[in-house]
Structure 1
Amino acid sequence: MGKVTGFKEFERQDESYTPVKDRVQHYKEFTVPLSEAEVTKQGSRCMDCGIPFCHSGCPLGNLIPDFNHMVHQGEWQKASWLLHSTNNFPEFTGRLCPAPCEKSCVLGIIEDPISIENIEKNIVERAFKEGWIKPQPPKTRTGKSVAVVGSGPAGLATAQQLNRAGHTVTVFERDDEVGGLLRYGIPNFKLEKEVIDRRVAILKAEGITFKTNVNVGVNYEVEKLHEFDAVVLCGGATKRRSLPTPGIDADGVVQAMDFLTQQTKVLFGKEVKDQVMATDKDVIVIGGGDTGSDCIGTSNRHGAKSVTNFEIMPKPPGHRSPSTPWPYWPLQLKTSSSHEEGVERNWLINTKEFVTDKNGKLTALKTVNVEWKMVPGERPQLIEIEGTEKTWPCDLALLALGFTGPEATIAEQLGIETDARSNYKAEYGKYQTNIPNIFTAGDMRRGQSLIVWAISEGREAARQVDIFLMGKSDLPTKDASGDLVAL
């Protein structure tokens, strides 16, 4: 695979970014692509390692050394075929995936790993540019109908796979546009929405029907789902986490997803009443994950007076921790492009109170520094450090605390069993709920997770639905090792 000595000859190169002062003036993607020659060199670094652990790192089982080799040889169309054989939407993962494959790359033991994610993005963008990605409607229809609830990556993957199997697929989306969190939860500067629209146009041309502004269990009766031969619930884990903190209801304490969704809708000319703006405000983002990073980038584009980030966990090490050795996902500090645009980051800090004026408007946050006490066999204990109390000026506090699980509406109305974490209960690999013709996949089944897992579960669930409907399936799957066993 690749060039035998490529990993010795070529260093890892990643996309660069346009200058901060320029990119914070707009909401477009701001990466500077590598040249075709440079991407070819990056593919040449794949070291023919014998046992490609990148396969085990990728939930999709992407054929990574194979498409790297095709790029190395200049066989871009073959690379696209290989990539799409396991991944329905590499244009999404190539932009948004945290790339667990790279963290398990064998070369990463001694040097910088292969730039797998960027190679993936270049392959799919080249494929769209050359017109290689075309609608593939099924030659025949089975006469079976399937409803897919939710149009995030799990729902879209499920829909495309089942449609290719010949079933008639209808996708229900409660928002006004298709895409789930890809549409309104991810800022445009990370994923321009034309990228979603481009792929959705392909899915529509393949014969999939999309119905937006349809909130199953709210403005669409769940009984109507019984009109379909099978149902796949891919509604995500959208129940937002809050804080049991005094002043949480203050004017100026806002959920991150509301903040991000409003900005994207305004960007596309949609009406938003009383948009929350960070302009000229002291902004504090509570939560150190990707959503918190997105809030930081958006606040800087609004022209915030200051942006501060709180994280209750310790600051991760700059390099892989001994507690998460290769090929496991590492405990390691992540600095995003949004962090580089300007933010004061703070770890081991807990918000004790949201301070308001007499009108209930947020004016400050009171915090205390903390430490975690680890006792073998017990849950970690959060200990407040005496004498570390501090008051921070704050006009806007954004809660980027993740999600606690899926909303219960559909489960309650259909009688679907849930687990202790409120996820819709279905065995991994089977995806079938306690109601035989109703399946579930993605975050709704497994809880808050990665886009690559959502696509993987959507593909796998589609195969199980196809078996349920037809008794067998020709859709691809993975065996217990994660290797693809049917194409």
Structure 2
Amino acid sequence: YNTEIGKDRTFEDLKEKFNAVLVAVGYSKAKCLPMFEKNPYVISAIDFLHNVKADQGSHDVKNNVLVIGGGDVAMDVVTTLKKLGCEHVTDVVYEELSEFLASEKELAGAREAGVTIIDGYVPDAVNGNVVTFKARHIDATYTLTADQIILAVGQKPDQTFGLPMEANEVKEDNYHVDGNVFVAGDITKGDKTVVWAVKKGKEAACAIDSYLGGKDHD
């Protein structure tokens, strides 16, 4: 507990001490578009949702918030903003509605909450809290000024502790990746859902049991 691997203890120490090590760190780090780095108006979707949870529903929100991203996490953010009393929530999405990454249920919930959704636009320039977007398929731009900008443009694993391969190389059903190291959860390919997380966890456990001399598993 309360130990940071790679800082308090090395990953090599764990590999030496234990017969098998299972890495299931998930996609805990937020991605950031380069143009938004170190922008004081910008916060990641992960940090925003974490702060809301920590404040137990009493989190103060700005009146005019821009969200960039079109997955389920982005839908969580926009609906949360509305529930917290944000009057103007605008979600600008790279995908067009016909190719949305978010589930139909999540998208319907955002629309029902009164979120403004602008599809088919990509960030082109930013100056503080003013963002200009460029349409993907037509010659058009859209500029929006917001009190806060929340990025929901994807997540990545924390690999600072020394996972022996890149996350996108960890193939589905290949839980044994190197020596006595195994992986499970979102860092393996496949759906990023709770159901799949349980499936991957069980299969990784079976792989470890077999590696340690247990019986074969169907």
| Shorter-normalised TM range | 0.7 to 0.9
Structure 1 position 353 matched with structure 2 position 121: no
Structure with the bigger percentage of strand: 2
* Structure-2 change in CA distance of 1:339 and 1:248 (3 Å): farther
Structure 1 position 423 matched with structure 2 position 167: yes
Which of 28, 32, 45 is the equivalent residue of 1:242?
A: 32
Between the two proteins, the alignment pairs up a number of residues equal to 216
Which of 114, 133, 153 is the equivalent residue of 1:342?
A: 114
Distance in 2, Cα, partners of 1:256 & 1:426:
25
Which of 199, 203, 218 is the equivalent residue of 1:460?
A: 203
What secondary structure sits across from 2:153 in the alignment?
Answer: coil
* Structure 1 runs, 4 residues or longer, greater than 6 Å off: none
- With a CA cutoff of 8 Å and minimum separation of 6, indicate the structure with the bigger relative contact order: 2
What secondary structure sits across from 1:285 in the alignment?
Answer: strand
Greater CA radius of gyration, 1 or 2? 1
Q: Which runs of 5+ in 2 are unaligned?
A: none
Distance in 2, Cα, partners of 1:299 & 1:268:
11
Structure 1 position 396 matched with structure 2 position 186: no
Q: State the partner residue of 1:121.
A: none
* Structure-2 change in CA distance of 1:220 and 1:448 (3 Å): farther
Tell me the TM-score normalised to structure 2 length: 0.85
Q: Which runs of 5+ in 1 are unaligned?
A: 1-210, 270-274, 319-329, 357-361, 372-384, 478-487
Give the C-alpha shift of residue 337 in structure 1. 2.6
* Structure-2 change in CA distance of 1:297 and 1:463 (3 Å): same
State the one-letter code of the partner of 1:290.
D
Distance in 2, Cα, partners of 1:396 & 1:291:
17
Give the C-alpha shift of residue 473 in structure 1. 4.8
Q: CA RMSD in A?
A: 2.8
Give the C-alpha shift of residue 268 in structure 1. 8.5
State the one-letter code of the partner of 1:292.
A
What secondary structure sits across from 2:136 in the alignment?
Answer: strand
Contact 1:426 1:432 in 2 (8 A): no
| CA-to-aligned-CA distance 1:16-71 (integer Å, 9 cap, x gap) | xxxxxxxxxxxxxxxxxxxxxxxxxxxxxxxxxxxxxxxxxxxxxxxxxxxxxxxx
Distance in 2, Cα, partners of 1:447 & 1:258:
25
Contact 2:90 2:115 in 1 (8 A): yes
Which of 189, 205, 214 is the equivalent residue of 1:471?
A: 214
Distance in 1, Cα, partners of 2:103 & 2:50:
29
What secondary structure sits across from 1:411 in the alignment?
Answer: coil
Contact 2:71 2:102 in 1 (8 A): no
Which of 136, 139, 153 is the equivalent residue of 1:370?
A: 136
Distance in 1, Cα, partners of 2:22 & 2:131:
43
Distance in 1, Cα, partners of 2:200 & 2:108:
27
Q: State the partner residue of 2:78.
A: 296
Distance in 1, Cα, partners of 2:206 & 2:102:
34
Q: State the partner residue of 1:262.
A: 51
Contact 1:315 1:333 in 2 (8 A): no
